[in-house]
Amino acid sequence: MDRLVFLLGTGVARGTVLALFALSLVLIWRATRIVNFAAGAMAVVGVYVGVAVTGATGSWWWGLVATVVAGGLLGFVVERGVLRFASARSPLSGVILAIGLVVVLQSLLGIVFGQEHEPVQPPFSDRPLQVGGVPLLSPYDLFVVVVALGLLGALRLLFVKTSLGLQLRAAAFEPEVSRLLGVRVARMRTVGWVLAASAASLAALLAVPNELGLNPHAADMLFVSAFTVAVVGGLDSPGGALLGGLTVGVVTSVVTGYLGATLAPVAVLGLLAAVLLLRPSGLFAQAEARRA
């Protein structure tokens, strides 16, 4: 039982990071109908900048700020400089541009920083706290949960309570009608990319200390898992990203704990296959579309 509690706790921590990363995919999908296959590579660029700033200043917190800012700037450049030119008539053109971007970014990172895994220390201890003799979350896991849930909540407030959020939603749902109402849809798309890329970079920064370390491919598996989360939750559903993230996080953690790490990807793949067979639009897609 103690083991199950521990695995559920770490699963929730991992799940919130996945949810944050998946939300970045959902934001871009809703705004542009493009699955951003470059999200992982873009996020790692932000993390490299953050780690460099941490190294230069000695402050992990300045590194966090730099990661978010660098991620947002890269999102701006990528949307304005590359993906804006993807043809709306051909869904493949956006996918191909994004994959090309992955190759370019990972090659550049490899040239500048090398391919070695660089360990990244968390700002808090990653040793689990004991409560009544039962190992629970580590202080770092708790920090990750608080930051990820805080950001997800902040993004929800932005979308539901602010004029900018209303314009972002309108531009995503009905771009032509929104233009006729004076909404600058192209600008809203850029804002969406900036928000999404910042969120993905932050998620990658939070995830890296629990992975093998930082290298140009450090967010590849995070992207694959987050893509699964987005499909499970519904690519159109921000709420689904959170619930899907928690589901995939807990499944991964429990399967890893009881059956071994090698079976975890198989379990996630099984979950993905089941959702695609039974509810291809995602577990939470319809409810969210009605509520948004």
Partner 1 sequence: MTAALALRGLVVGHGGAPVLHGVSFEVDEGSVVALVGGNGAGKTTLLRTVSGLLTPTAGTVHLHGRDLARVGVEDRVRAGLAQVPEGRGVITELTIEENLRLGGLWRGDPADLRAALAEMEELFEPLARRRTSLGHQLSGGERQMLAIARALVARPRVLLLDEPSLGLAPLVVAQIMRVLRELCDRTGLTVLLAEQNVAGALSVADRGVVLGLGEVVADRPAAALAQDETLRHAYLGF
| Nearer residue to partner 1 within complex by CB, 103 or 177 | 177
Stretch of residues binding partner 1 (CB under 8 A), selected from 37-45, 65-73, 133-141, 172-180: 172-180
Among 99, 157, 166, 276, the residue binding partner 1 under the rule CB under 8 A is: 166
289 belongs to the binding site for partner 1 (CB under 8 A): yes
| Nearer residue to partner 1 within complex by CB, 181 or 266 | 181
Categorise residue 234: left if φ over 0, alpha if ψ from -120 to 50, beta otherwise. Answer: left
Least distance CB 244 / partner 1 (angstroms): 20
- Separation of alpha carbons 192 and 238, rounded Å: 13
Distances from the Cα of 35 to the Cα of 5, 24, 44, 158, 288, angstroms: 35, 10, 18, 22, 19
| Nearer residue to partner 1 within complex by CB, 181 or 212 | 181
Return the residues of window 177-216 that contact partner 1 according to CB under 8 A: 177-185
Least distance CB 289 / partner 1 (angstroms): 6
| Nearer residue to partner 1 within complex by CB, 115 or 162 | 162
Least distance CB 269 / partner 1 (angstroms): 32
- Separation of alpha carbons 218 and 123, rounded Å: 19
Return the residues of window 57-86 that contact partner 1 according to CB under 8 A: none
Give the three-state DSSP class for 274: helix
Among 167, 198, 247, 253, the residue binding partner 1 under the rule CB under 8 A is: 167
Please state, as a whole number, how many other Cβ atoms lie within 10 Å of the Cβ of residue 77. 14
Least distance CB 241 / partner 1 (angstroms): 17
- Separation of alpha carbons 159 and 245, rounded Å: 20
Least distance CB 192 / partner 1 (angstroms): 16
Nearest alpha-carbon partner for 8 in 261, 252, 271, 265? 252
Please state, as a whole number, how many other Cβ atoms lie within 10 Å of the Cβ of residue 102. 20
CA torsion sign for 152, 248, 102, 261 is: positive
Size of residue set near partner 1 by CB under 8 A: 20
Return the residues of window 124-163 that contact partner 1 according to CB under 8 A: 163
Least distance CB 174 / partner 1 (angstroms): 5
Please state, as a whole number, how many other Cβ atoms lie within 10 Å of the Cβ of residue 213. 12
Least distance CB 292 / partner 1 (angstroms): 5
**End-to-end Cα spacing for the chain:** 39
| Nearer residue to partner 1 within complex by CB, 116 or 176 | 176
Distances from the Cα of 275 to the Cα of 16, 168, 202, 231, 282, angstroms: 20, 28, 28, 8, 7
Stretch of residues binding partner 1 (CB under 8 A), selected from 104-112, 170-178, 198-206, 272-280: 170-178
Least distance CB 157 / partner 1 (angstroms): 15
Return the residues of window 2-41 that contact partner 1 according to CB under 8 A: none
173 belongs to the binding site for partner 1 (CB under 8 A): yes
- Separation of alpha carbons 153 and 22, rounded Å: 14
- Provide the binding-site residues for partner 1, judged by CB under 8 A: 163, 166-167, 169-170, 173-174, 176-185, 289-290, 292
